[in-house]
């Protein structure tokens, strides 16, 4: 008689044995298809073809009445879904601030998908990796060692979390308890931002109950950083200041060292939106760009941008962990009591274990690999700007980090070049408006990008420009 396999020993019921075998086969098949996608996507246009997009109509059908084998569902996803993706993981996508997926993090995501853990829901591994990854991030960014960090869905949520912690702490200093009394009738907060504040921070303010009428805007300089000499010096203990590490168009950071100490001495709170720019702090040659950022009270950053983690992954970090805890605590009798659980350090209660991928990326790159990722991206951004300028394009702002802003003559021509580049397929760049002018915005944020990718992208962009002039 044949000996039982380990699987057969565990699953004595034939139905459960068959289901488990099917599940293992599916995971293996999904990984095989993911590998084939990676192999094929490298040779595909960055933007999907019109035919591939048209093929998505296969998905638009009524909710099926009856079940269907999962293997067929996976095959259909791959057949119609994979070709209709924008290729963001092969180094020639420079749109938005889209970092590709780090190989270790991408592989960890497959494993974490099988684990299906909820940090804070009695998962020792998710809680441990969340805690370790958060501590590593705080350390890599040079922020105060005893600051408290937690993962969330992205910089917008991270900004919202930091702003709510700030709001509640400032109002508490004025004797107002938001948890008990809400916001109606609360003392008025003074909120100061730079003219170049990101839309995400404004959205977060609105969601936190702080409307436009409360917001003062301070002028910015030629690269979009706050002009420190124009910053108010009469702030008080009811002042919330939002600064920025990494202007979304230029990559420039606000002058933290000049602004933060005075605000904090006068009792105010400084929150920094560092969705991508905060990572300059992890690179010795770029750290000066964000000098003084560690003096703030709270910070928001993204994992899914420059850290090359899969979507979605944001991180909020707060100097006064107790203030964060007071704003976010959500304990219930059925939940294990744990002040460090993500639900007590952020907005969500249940969430995926984002720390697994962050841990894998940081464990794989280490401090020097992280610095190399950031420095290499910036070097390639400078190279791209130089090559485009040599080709006759106008670089609209000095390249201080990983963002390149380019114009090709008048607004209509620049818009036509961006459309042509997106359709041509060698590379992909986003449109933006900078100081009233239309611009192409190239963000170098993927560790996969090589100097060959930059050369190919520049040649394609200049070629598209040339064709718009014919």
Ligand X SMILES: Cc1ncc(COP(=O)(O)O)c(C=O)c1O
Are the C-beta atoms of residues 268 and 60 closer than 8 Å to each other? no
Cβ partners under 8 Å of residue 158, min gap 6: 152, 300, 301, 302, 314, 315, 316
How many chain residues bind ligand X (CB under 6 A)? 15
Q: Is 97 in the site for ligand X (CB under 6 A)?
A: yes
244 vs 426, beta carbon nearer ligand X: 244
Least Cβ distance, residue 442 to ligand X (angstroms) = 14
Least Cβ distance, residue 156 to ligand X (angstroms) = 3
**Where do the DSSP E strands lie in 250-365?**
269-273, 298-302, 314-318
Q: In angstroms, how far apart are the furthest CA atoms of the chain? A: 87
Q: Is 95 in the site for ligand X (CB under 6 A)?
A: no
148-152/314-318 β-pairing: antiparallel
226 vs 416, beta carbon nearer ligand X: 226
Least Cβ distance, residue 276 to ligand X (angstroms) = 6
279 vs 408, beta carbon nearer ligand X: 279
Least Cβ distance, residue 272 to ligand X (angstroms) = 10
278 vs 462, beta carbon nearer ligand X: 278
Rounded CA separation 429/427 (Å): 7
Which residue has the closest beta carbon to ligand X?
Answer: 154
Least Cβ distance, residue 302 to ligand X (angstroms) = 5
- Could you say which residues in the range 265-304 bind ligand X, by CB under 6 A? 273, 275-276, 302
155 vs 323, beta carbon nearer ligand X: 155
- Could you say which residues in the range 146-205 bind ligand X, by CB under 6 A? 154-156, 198, 200
Cβ partners under 8 Å of residue 87, min gap 6: 41, 42, 44, 45, 46, 93
Q: Among 47, 138, 226, 248, which residue sits at the site for ligand X (rule: CB under 6 A)?
A: 248
Least Cβ distance, residue 371 to ligand X (angstroms) = 21
Rounded CA separation 341/345 (Å): 7
157 vs 362, beta carbon nearer ligand X: 157
Are the C-beta atoms of residues 126 and 135 closer than 8 Å to each other? no
374 vs 464, beta carbon nearer ligand X: 374
Cβ partners under 8 Å of residue 118, min gap 6: 126, 350, 351, 352, 353
> Which of 344, 381, 314 has its CA nearest to residue 151?
314
Q: At CA 270, angle to CA 148 and CA 432, rounded to 5?
A: 100
- Which two structure tokens, joined as six digits, stand for 446? 């993927």
Least Cβ distance, residue 160 to ligand X (angstroms) = 9
Name the segment binding ligand X (CB under 6 A); options: 11-19, 228-236, 242-250, 382-390.
242-250
207 vs 420, beta carbon nearer ligand X: 207
Q: Is 314 in the site for ligand X (CB under 6 A)?
A: yes
Least Cβ distance, residue 378 to ligand X (angstroms) = 16
Rounded CA separation 136/319 (Å): 15
Site string for ligand X, 198-237 (x = CB under 6 A): x-x-------------------------------------
Any bridge partners for residue 63, and if so which? none
Are the C-beta atoms of residues 92 and 457 closer than 8 Å to each other? yes
Q: Is 45 in the site for ligand X (CB under 6 A)?
A: no
CA distance to 53, 170, 214, 244, per residue, from 217 (Å): 42, 20, 10, 13
> DSSP secondary-structure letter at 250?
T
Using only C-alpha atoms, what is the Rg of the chain? 24
178 vs 191, beta carbon nearer ligand X: 191
Name the segment binding ligand X (CB under 6 A); options: 5-13, 243-251, 359-367, 386-394.
243-251
Q: Is 126 in the site for ligand X (CB under 6 A)?
A: no
Are the C-beta atoms of residues 97 and 276 closer than 8 Å to each other? yes
128 vs 432, beta carbon nearer ligand X: 432
Rounded CA separation 228/257 (Å): 10
Residues of this chain that interact with ligand X (CB under 6 A) are 96-97, 154-156, 198, 200, 244, 246, 248, 273, 275-276, 302, 314
């Amino acid at each position: 008689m044949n000996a039982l396999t380990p699987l057969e020993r565990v699953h004595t019921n034939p139905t459960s044995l068959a289901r488990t075998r099917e599940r293992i086969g599916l995971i293996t098949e999904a990984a095989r298809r993911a590998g084939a996608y990676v192999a094929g996507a490298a040779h595909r246009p960055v933007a999907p073809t019109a035919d591939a997009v048209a093929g998505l109509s296969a998905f638009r059908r009524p909710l099926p009445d009856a079940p269907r084998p999962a293997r067929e569902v996976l095959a259909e996803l791959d057949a119609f879904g994979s070709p209709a993706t924008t290729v963001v993981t092969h180094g020639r996508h420079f749109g938005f601030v889209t970092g590709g997926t780090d190989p270790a993090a991408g592989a960890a995501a497959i494993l974490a998908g099988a684990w299906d853990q909820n940090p804070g829901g009695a998962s020792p591994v998710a809680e441990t990796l969340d805690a370790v990854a958060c501590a590593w991030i705080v350390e890599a960014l040079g922020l105060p060692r005893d600051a408290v960090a937690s993962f969330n869905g992205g910089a917008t949520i991270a900004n919202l979390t930091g702003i709510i912690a700030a709001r509640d702490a400032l109002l508490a200093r004025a004797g107002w308890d938001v948890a008990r009394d809400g916001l109606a009738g609360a003392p008025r907060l003074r909120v100061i931002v730079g003219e170049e504040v990101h839309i995400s921070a404004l959205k977060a303010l609105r969601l936190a109950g702080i409307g436009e009428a409360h917001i003062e805007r301070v002028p910015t300089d030629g690269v979009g950083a706050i002009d420190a000499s124009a910053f108010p010096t009469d702030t008080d203990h009811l002042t919330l200041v939002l600064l920025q590490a990494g202007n979304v168009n230029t990559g420039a950071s606000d002058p933290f060292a000049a602004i933060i100490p005075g605000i904090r001495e006068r009792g105010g709170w400084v929150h920094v939106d560092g969705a991508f720019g905060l990572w300059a702090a992890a690179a010795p040659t770029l750290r000066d760009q964000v000098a003084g950022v560690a003096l703030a009270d709270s910070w928001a950053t993204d994992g899914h941008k420059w850290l090359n983690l899969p979507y979605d992954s944001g991180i909020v970090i707060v100097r006064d962990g107790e203030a964060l805890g007071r704003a976010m605590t959500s304990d219930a009798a059925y939940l294990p009591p744990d002040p460090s659980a993500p639900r007590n350090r952020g907005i969500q209660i249940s969430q995926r274990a984002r720390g697994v991928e962050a841990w894998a990326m940081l464990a794989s790159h280490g401090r020097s690999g992280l610095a190399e990722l950031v420095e290499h991206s910036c070097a390639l951004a400078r190279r791209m700007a130089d090559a485009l300028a040599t080709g006759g394009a106008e670089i609209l702002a000095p390249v201080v980090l990983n963002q390149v802003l380019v114009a090709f003559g008048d607004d209509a021509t620049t818009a036509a070049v961006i459309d042509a580049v997106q359709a041509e397929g060698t590379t992909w760049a986003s449109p933006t408006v900078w100081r009233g002018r239309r611009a192409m915005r190239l963000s170098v944020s993927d560790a996969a990008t090589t100097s060959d990718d930059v050369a190919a992208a520049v040649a394609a962009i200049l070629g598209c420009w040339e064709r718009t002039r014919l």
